[in-house]
Amino acid sequence: MKKYISIMACLTVFMLTSCEKDDNLELSTSDYIIFGHFYGKCVGEQCIEIFRLENEKLFEDTKDQYPNSGEFYGGIWVQLSQQKFNDTKDLTKYFPTDLLNETEKIIGQPDAGDWGGLYVEYNLNGIRKFWLLDQKKSNVPTKYHNFHDKINEKIGQLQ
C-alpha cells in the first residue's frame, strides 16, 4: 500500500510540475487582433492608424475611420510586408487576458482631451470583443499599461 501511495504521489507531483501555463495567444487562421490609435482633432493620415494581425499576416486599414464605441471596426484591409508582420507578431504575447473580463467597452476617457485613444479588437476561438482605451495611461488600469505601451511601440514601428 505504501508503494502505491508513493507512486501516486510521484505521479501527482509530476503532473502538477510538468504543466506550464501558456498565456501567449496563438492565432489560428480565423483568429485576429486589431489594434490601433485614433485622434479626433488631428490632420493627416497618421491620425487614425489601425492594423489587423492574423496568424501569418498583417494588414493596415485604409478607411481610417474614427472608431465607434457601439460597433466593431469595419476596415478596408491591405496586406503589409512580411517584415512588418515580423515586427508586430509578438504583440499577442502582451495581450492582457484580464481585458476579456472587462464589462465596459470604454476604458478611461479616450480622446476626451484630444490626447487620443487606442482601439483593440479580439477574435479568438469564437470570442469576439473590442475596447476603446484612453491614450492617457493615468486613466487606464495599471494592469493594461504594458500592453498599452506595446501597441504604441508597434504602431510607431509601422509608421
CATH number of the domain within which 122 lies: 3.30.1560
| 73: containing domain | 26-158
Q: Give the cell for residue 90.
A: 509578438
Q: What is the pTM of this model?
A: 0.80
The CA-atom distances, in angstroms, between 113 and each of 40, 93, 110, 116, 139 are: 10, 30, 8, 8, 12
In which region does residue 77 sit, left (phi positive, over 0), alpha (psi from -120 to 50) or beta (all else)?
beta
Count of the separate structural domains present in the chain: 1
Rg (CA), the chain: 20
**Dist CA 85 CA 20 (whole Å):** 27
Q: Could you tell me how far CA 155 lies from the centroid of its own chain? A: 12
Is residue 154 domain-resident? yes
Is residue 49 domain-resident? yes
The tens-digit pLDDT sequence of the chain (159 residues) is 444 433 333 333 333 333 333 344 555 557 999 999 999 888 777 899 999 999 899 999 999 999 999 999 999 999 999 999 999 999 999 999 999 999 999 999 999 988 999 999 999 888 999 999 999 999 999 999 999 999 999 999 998
User: 65 phi and psi, to 5 degrees?
Assistant: -100, 140
Is residue 6 domain-resident? no
